A = this chain, B = another copy of it.
């Protein structure tokens, strides 16, 4: 059982990981190993103290060197579900289950909100995992939201099973060219159905009947990821110590609210790490008292 599972690899996560490692905590860390794409795409960063006028790729590279030097590893896996257990949290990363005493969510702002209908129909036609659920859609019509080029192989896998795939990507240079994969003419805006997925609605309000919807994102909407997690608008609700409403679950960075800034994320990651260390200390004390 790990001390901490960190979900996401942006600046908040980097900051937390450095501190947790210095405190000798065991960490399992999930997310793109190339770190934050948002940072990567920043042309010039002028307001990060200590590193004057840096490009996003340069700063990400600095982050990378720092975690490498400290011997911290990243599992390049997407986390699609977190469940509270008696002893902590069970984290589904890729197709594997990991146990951790605490969880730190640093999942960014972009993914903070899912599609309308997404949470309600999850497991009833909505899936986050091609490998897990693809076989259910043999010979059927599915919609696939591919949030990142790195998931394109999953789209290809789904196209081998499904009869027809309607594909949505937020980026332009999609390289998938398969006879049964067609592009959505407008972006998807809603997933519809009474008890299970029946159709999707696009931004022009046109509707397309589908049997299922696969959503391949770097991360999942917080309330979908962990049931009962309290939100504040589009953000995860936290207090000044980065506690969420779930004991042992912390959050930091863009997912907790504005300003969406590297310095803010780094600061919150640091605070969260310290809160986690304190929480683990109290947990241990309680366990020793229970034994005595």
Contact = CB atoms under 8 A, between A and B. Distances in A.
Nearest to A274: B259
Contact of A266 (B63, B69, B259, B267): B267
Interface string A27-60: 0000000000000000000111111111000010
Interface in A88-105: none
A258 interface: yes
B264 A270 contact: yes
A65 interface: yes
A109 interface: no
Interface in A257-272: 257-259, 261, 263-271
Q: How many copies does the complex hold?
A: 2
Contacts of A63: 49-50
A66 interface: yes
A50 B62 contact: yes
B263 A269 contact: yes
Contacts of A18: 46-47, 49
A41 B102 CA distance: 34
A266 to B, nearest CB: 5
A270 to B, nearest CB: 4
A271 to B, nearest CB: 5
A259 B271 contact: yes
Given A14-B49, A50-B63, A267-B268, 16 more contacts: A11-B49, A15-B47, A15-B263, A18-B49, A48-B50, A49-B62, A49-B66, A49-B266, A50-B54, A50-B266, A53-B69, A261-B271, A263-B266, A267-B267, A267-B270, A267-B271
A270 B52 contact: no
Nearest to A239: B240
Contact of A47 (B22, B59, B240, B258): B22
Contact of A261 (B53, B263, B264, B274): B274
A26 interface: no
A19 interface: yes
A8 to B, nearest CB: 14
Contacts of A263: 15, 266-267, 269-270
Contacts of A49: 11, 14-15, 18, 62-63, 66, 266, 269
